[in-house]
Structure 1
Amino acid sequence: MGSRDFVYYVDFPDDGWVTPPEPGESIAAWADDVVGDLRAQEGTAVALGSQLRGYGQSYRELEAETGALWVPQVDDGVLATLWADVLAAEPEMATIEAVLQAERARAATTAVAEDQPSVEVVRLPAGPAVRTRMLELGGHGLTGTAQLAEQVSHLIVPAPAVHDEGRPAVVRHVVGWVLLEHGDELAELADDCAALVEIERL
């Protein structure tokens, strides 16, 4: 990341977010620390610890640059996941129009069953973005399984462009969940999180 002409920051709209394990950190020890910090009671602690270990392993395998887990109430466990990274693109593919077209094509090929993905251009404080809401198997990125999930992704295309390794860069921000019955509420949460992304030019 040293050859970038920018840095980006991810923030959260409430205090219910837990950062994932650092590279090289024991996932089991991290999960135990989180359970302790959240003061989970004995019955909840076992279930939450198991859930956290699964998410921690999935996050590590994903190799995202940053991320978090939403645990607003300890008894409910992890309700949503967030991760972000940077995509370097060829100049002709780093426009909002090209990203919109590519996302529509991706959604059309990966959408599940009767799902009708929503793909649109939105305006964020960090810049224009392509917002996609859709169902996928394992769609929130950190399940580690083929469980049906929903996600909202924002591909932020800064204008003027920022660069990674000399190529135009797109910041990818993804929030996902498996509580499909709460999809509208969690999609709003995803939008709130994306609105807090900051991009600083160096």
Structure 2
Amino acid sequence: MVADGGARLVGFVTGGGRPEAIRREVAELLPEFMVPAVVHGLERLPVTPNGKVDRRALEQEADRRRASALARPAGDVSPGHAAVTAAWREVLGVVDVPGDVNFFDLGGHSLLVPALQEALHRHTGVRLPILDLFRHSTVADLAARLARSTTAAPPAPGAEPPPSAGSSRRRRGDAARTLRDRRAQEADR
């Protein structure tokens, strides 16, 4: 395993196994911080002149594959898919967001889910329940969930998002205090 230019672990395997299946198996055995973000297959590992694994060559290969993936045209990506990808990039601080990789495998954690909810709301105009973000934890699944939403219209450029539940609770609290103050004043008369 090596760290690529994006400061994430990248694994390399030989022997013809399916890299994503191997990654899933490793994820079951190792702590989360030790699991590579992506696993690539190679015919053979590069070696230095003295026979050791050439880590520099692996780092260069990881960087080359990452650049190749980023340069690859997105194909027929729906606006919802692009919006979810943009939200994930914003929250996770990563450039490469594959459509089929779990949010938590890319470095996300439960404390980032509310930030993801807000970012998705800004990018799509839809505020999904937090539980949906746990249930649909890949870009593809989340984009499909957004497509099923009846209010999936993106916000107008420069438009303010509707107030959050917290701000409406504050307004209700302010109104209750005002009413309470009025009643106290009337009782004093």
TM-score range, shorter chain: under 0.3
Q: TM-score, normalised by structure 2?
A: 0.25
Larger helix proportion, structure 1 or 2?
2
Q: TM-score, normalised by structure 1?
A: 0.24
Higher relative contact order by CA 8 Å / sep ≥ 6: 1 or 2? 1
Question: Whose Rg is larger?
Answer: 2
